[in-house]
């Protein structure tokens, strides 16, 4: 049997490599340079061009570019009218921002448990957590896989809730043949460099509802309007505007927008390569009895942002930390997505306790995120597989 590096073998890789990395090319550099040499660094033509492009890609009627994915979630909650005393249901297996957006508005996040197989929010658990105070559901497309949107929409219609998809992972993913950005009441995106396409920092919200669109544009820019139909009286002159809500400065710059437009030109390529890598991983890991792969619902045609592998602790003599360290010794630097949000001290101070979502907590104990990004070579992929195989075999119980 091949000895893992941690047990004295030779590492699979001689240099460290990481779980994610952005991919930029000459077209991206030229796009940014073009804006730097133009008149408008922000609030210029690239923002409009980007918003139109996001509409074309997602099939949504409206798109609003913002400064990051967290700002996108915040303005989506504001546009949904979430405030003091409201409850917002979300999953704990996500980045903290998916719940923090409710807290920003004075509302209380309520955590629903996950589906054991897909690891996405379980619609039945969402239903069980609806109360008279529930205002919205923030459903996260975890790792890029679409949630069960039909079931979630049904629950939201029955209880008059706003459905927000946190699509930070799912740019390029389709549900029943439709891009995820056109289905929920609002879908938010993040363009942080670890995501499938990047603008350095950046985010967007898509919607088909003109009233939500109007509120999104207000809240992302100070609550200020130049639209006479929204003003308290007729404009005093061309300089005149009014602040009608308390909004924020969540604008994206044209520099970022130009980079993102150029990145989105490559989305199909990025998506195809990610699907190839995921297929190869799934094929290899399905044959290893000590690990489990994420199951997919047939409705989701997934562009995967993260590849999360689950170990079976009962079939191994090491735990997740042991597996993570063993991969590190092979120079494969993994990560863990995610620590359940309510484990954090800030949430504990608010009164949340361990035990809320048993399936999510068990998942967290057993997962690690393997490298997955566009520029990975076939050799990189095979190296990761070989490392997982030798560690699983060596520490098999």
| Minimum separation from the CB atom of position 197 to ligand PLP (A) | 12
| Minimum separation from the CB atom of position 302 to ligand PLP (A) | 15
For 75, 313, 316, the CA distances from 319, given in Å and listed in that order, are 40, 6, 7
Q: Which residue of 19, 23, 62, 95 would you call a contact of ligand PLP, by CB under 6 A?
A: 95
Answer yes or no whether residue 98 interacts with ligand PLP by CB under 6 A.
Answer: yes
Choose between 140 and 291: whose C-beta lies nearer to ligand PLP: 140
Which residue number has the CB closest to ligand PLP? Answer: 69
Answer yes or no whether residue 168 interacts with ligand PLP by CB under 6 A.
Answer: yes
Q: Specify burial of residue 375 (Cβ count, 10 A radius: 0-12, 13-18, 19+).
A: exposed
CA distance 313 to 322: 10
String marking each residue 235-274 x if it binds ligand PLP according to CB under 6 A:
----------------------------------------
- H-type alpha helices, 225-266: 254-264
| Part in contact with ligand PLP (CB under 6 A); list of ranges 66-74, 114-122, 131-139, 230-238 | 66-74
CA distance 138 to 94: 11
Whether the Cβ atoms of residue 216 and residue 64 lie closer than 8 Å to each other: yes
Neighbours of 358 (CB within 10 A): 11
| Minimum separation from the CB atom of position 312 to ligand PLP (A) | 26
Q: Which residue of 97, 121, 284, 309 would you call a contact of ligand PLP, by CB under 6 A?
A: 97
Answer yes or no whether residue 169 interacts with ligand PLP by CB under 6 A.
Answer: yes
CA distance 189 to 166: 7
| Part in contact with ligand PLP (CB under 6 A); list of ranges 124-132, 162-170, 177-185, 235-243 | 162-170
CA distance 273 to 293: 19
Closest CA to 370 of 316, 318, 333: 333
Considering only residues 174 through 203, tell me which ones interact with ligand PLP, judged by CB under 6 A. Answer: 190, 192, 203
Look at strands 162-166 and 186-190 and give their pairing.
Answer: parallel
Choose between 58 and 290: whose C-beta lies nearer to ligand PLP: 58
| Minimum separation from the CB atom of position 178 to ligand PLP (A) | 21
| 87 beta partners | 108, 134
Closest CA to 260 of 207, 177, 195: 195
Choose between 271 and 341: whose C-beta lies nearer to ligand PLP: 341
| Minimum separation from the CB atom of position 67 to ligand PLP (A) | 8
Closest CA to 281 of 373, 156, 161: 373
The residue ranges that bind ligand PLP (CB under 6 A) are 68-70, 94-95, 97-98, 140, 166, 168-169, 190, 192, 203
């Amino acid at each position: 049997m091949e000895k893992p590096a941690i047990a004295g073998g030779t590492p699979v890789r001689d240099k460290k490599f990481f779980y994610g990395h952005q991919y930029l090319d000459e077209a991206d550099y030229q796009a940014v340079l073009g804006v730097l040499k133009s008149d408008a660094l922000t609030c210029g033509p690239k923002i409009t061009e980007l918003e139109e492009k996001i509409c074309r890609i997602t099939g949504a009627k409206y798109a609003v570019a913002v400064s990051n994915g967290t700002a996108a979630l915040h303005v989506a909650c504001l546009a949904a009218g979430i405030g003091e005393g409201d409850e917002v249901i979300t999953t704990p297996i996500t980045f903290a921002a998916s719940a923090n957006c409710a807290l920003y508005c004075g509302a209380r996040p309520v955590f629903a448990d996950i589906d054991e197989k897909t690891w996405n929010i379980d619609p039945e658990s969402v239903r069980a957590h609806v109360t008279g105070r529930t205002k919205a559901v923030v459903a996260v497309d975890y790792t890029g896989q679409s949630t069960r949107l039909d079931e979630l929409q049904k629950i939201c219609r029955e209880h008059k809730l706003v459905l927000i998809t946190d699509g930070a992972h799912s740019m390029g993913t389709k549900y029943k043949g439709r891009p995820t950005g056109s289905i929920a009441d609002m879908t938010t995106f993040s363009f942080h460099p670890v995501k499938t396409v990047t603008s350095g920092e950046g985010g967007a919200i898509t919607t088909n509802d003109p009233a939500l669109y109007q509120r999104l544009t207000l809240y992302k820019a100070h609550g200020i309007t130049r639209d006479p139909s929204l003003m308290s009286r007729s404009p005093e002159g061309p300089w005149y505007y009014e602040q009608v809500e308390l909004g924020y400065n969540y604008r994206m710059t044209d520099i970022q927008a130009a980079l993102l437009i150029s990145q989105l030109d490559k989305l199909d390529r990025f998506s195809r390569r990610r699907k190839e890598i995921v297929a190869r991983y799934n094929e290899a890991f399905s044959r290893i009895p000590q690990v489990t792969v994420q199951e997919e619902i047939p409705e989701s045609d997934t562009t995967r942002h993260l590849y999360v592998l689950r170990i079976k602790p009962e079939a191994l003599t090491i735990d997740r930390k042991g597996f993570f360290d063993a991969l590190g010794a092979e120079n494969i630097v993994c990560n863990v997505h995610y620590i359940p949000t309510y484990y954090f001290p800030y949430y504990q101070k608010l009164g949340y306790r361990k035990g809320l979502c048993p399936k999510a907590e068990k998942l967290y104990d057993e997962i690690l995120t393997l490298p997955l990004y566009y520029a990975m070579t076939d050799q990189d992929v095979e190296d990761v597989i070989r490392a997982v195989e030798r560690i699983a075999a060596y520490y098999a119980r």
